[in-house]
Amino acid sequence: MAEPSKFWQGAHLLITFPIPEQRDIVKYLTSSIGVRTIWISCMASVDDPATYHNVDIIATLGALQPSRSACPKLKLVHSITAGVDYISNSPIFGDPSIRWTYSSGIHGAPMAEWVFMTYMAFQKEWDFYREAQRNREGGFHFNAMRTRDLVGQRMGIMGYGSIGRQIGRVAQAMGMEVLALTATEKRTKEDRREAGYRLPGMGDPEGEVPVEWFSGLGKEALHVFLAARIDILVISLPLTEQTRGMLGKEEFDVLAKHSPYGGAFISNIARGEVINQDELIAALKTEGSGVRGAALDVSIPEPLPPDSPLWEAPNCFITPHNSSQNIKYMSRGLQIMVENLRKPLDSEFINEVNTAGGY
């Protein structure tokens, strides 16, 4: 492990996250890097703007100041999320005098567990058996004879980054065929190799899991992918102008025509805005629509209000954007920042943000 860079020793670090201060993490940051840490429990803003005046580093979900003059010493912003859409609307986002990094690579394991938890609950009709248990019905049910195991099923993964690769790895272990859709073409072994951060032993670093690769985010390319006999469609790509509203009735119609059993199960762990939510609700309510069921960790808006019709959509699992959360979330996310702080400011950083692309 590299020694701490003297450049960052004594630097002021501001951490904003909506949980109480984790003293063990603060102690580790002080001992390993030598930074002075302020931890403020908040989601998107700090009440006192003066807090930012002497800050060199910010680790946050989205608590940024509106102008460079409000944070004159700021040198590094680390997003504690898999993407940067929470900070990309900030007026200072992309400022070339600030380095921008994010926490991609820490989410794959828990989010893969969530994808398979919800899909297998759907496949195995878990709600039926939970209700039978509550009613103390111990007799044999023939429902199980109509369920399908995962062997031979085809999983289409939209966005084959660190999260998608871990999901693909687990899918392969379960006997599934994995199809990957990426924004750009991945023809060579080098193209398919993962360049970003990942936890040891996780994911598909060489890109060897998919049996088929597809590329392009336009409608024509997307429809070719959706026509590939997909059983479960996993959405795991960043929210950009290209991906906003990417899936709707037209796409569900393609699934209806080409997917086994008249449609696919849709698992969205990306952002709610990737799907036309009203058209998804309509599809869930309509037999033969191309959508057999859905698992949504994201929605429009968040949090989802009590009167949203999405709550009543049939065959739909909803969770409040917590599929990645676990006891090690903060320590793993900040470890990426720590590795970068072991380097001088002008070094190549892990998980550098593509500020032009917004991801």
Active site residues: 271, 302, 321
Cα 21 to Cα 18, 36, 244, 273, 321: the distances in Å are 9, 14, 34, 31, 21
Q: Using CA atoms, how far apart are residues 25 and 37, in angstroms rounded to an integer? A: 10
Q: Using CA atoms, how far apart are residues 241 and 298, in angstroms rounded to an integer? A: 18
Report yes or no: 295 and 118 within 8 Å, Cβ to Cβ.
yes
Q: List all residues 6 or more positions away from 11 whose beta carbon is below 8 Å from its beta carbon.
A: 34, 35, 36, 56, 57, 75
Nearest-CA neighbor of 334 among 81, 139, 145, 89? 81
Q: Which helix (H) or strand (E) holds 212?
A: strand 212-215
- Edge-to-edge, what's the strand order for the sheet holding 12-16? 36-40, 12-16, 57-60, 76-79, 99-102
